[in-house]
Amino acid sequence: EPEVTQTPSHQVTQMGQEVILRCVPISNHLYFYWYRQILGQKVEFLVSFYNNEISEKSEIFDDQFSVERPDGSNFTLKIRSTKLEDSAMYFCASSVSLDRGSISNQPQHFGDGTRLSIL
Amino acid sequence: GENVEQHPSTLSVQEGDSAVIKCTYSDSASNYFPWYKQELGKRPQLIIDIRSNVGEKKDQRIAVTLNKTAKHFSLHITETQPEDSAVYFCAGGDNQGGKLIFGQGTELSVKP
């Protein structure tokens, strides 16, 4: 079964440094998402991406965050200047295959996540 | 704003008993309600979902019910097994880009 893959599995970074988290969504999926989960808390929506642009973003997704689809397979999340409170598990998800059509009510498949630790 | 409330936060049952987890949502535009199971340190895995035009859906030992009027939906697990132990998250989604708003999670413990 196709899977969403994320790299690295664990990233340790000094506060103030830039990090890039990478995701390879399921092939022929069209919608991509980033979520984060602070340890012991619920999963929180960050951003959705479709047709090479952001569809929606949450209040968490401020100017320090950006997303990009640099080629036909990768989907990246960049945090420009990391803060201690950015420490969390970051999950990428994708949904909708080309032959499904509408975005409405399509399951989102999650990757294994990247654990980001800011020191 | 959009919010999904989930109860209980922890649930302990004996093997073979049933478990019920309940969620309420605030956004009237929500029309898609998935349930995810998350084992420690792993990804959320979709176990069942329900759409707003359906009141109930069942898949083997797992069932989900939806009351759109009351904005409630529930997960029912029958004949629980120790391997059902995990954190379960409900979520609500809509047609506007598909983002999911998650509940706080329920830590289910099934004692053998």
CB B8 within 8 A of CB B105: no
Contact A42 B34 (CB under 8 A): no
Q: Is the pLDDT of residue B37 over 80?
A: yes
Q: What is the mean pLDDT of chain A?
A: 90
Contact A45 B93 (CB under 8 A): no
Nearest to B31 among A48, A105, A107 (CB): A105
Sign of the alpha-carbon torsion through B21, B27, B28, B33: negative
- By percentage, how much of chain A surpasses pLDDT 90? 71
Q: Closest approach of chain A CAs to the CA of B59, in angstroms?
A: 16
And the tokens for B33?
């309600």
Contacts of B104 in chain A (CB under 8 A): 41-42
Q: Does A34 touch chain B (CB under 8 A)?
A: no
Q: Closest approach of chain A CAs to the CA of B112, in angstroms?
A: 25
Estimate to the nearest angstrom the gap between the alpha carbon of B7 and the chain centroid: 10
Contact A48 B98 (CB under 8 A): yes
Backbone angles phi, psi at A7, to 5 degrees: -140, 150
Helix (H) or strand (E) holding A93: strand A88-97
Contacts of A111 (CB under 8 A, 6+ apart): A3, A4, A5, A6, A23, A91, A92, A93, B43
The string of pLDDT tens digits covering residues A30-86 is 899 999 999 888 999 999 998 889 989 999 999 999 999 988 789 999 999 999 999
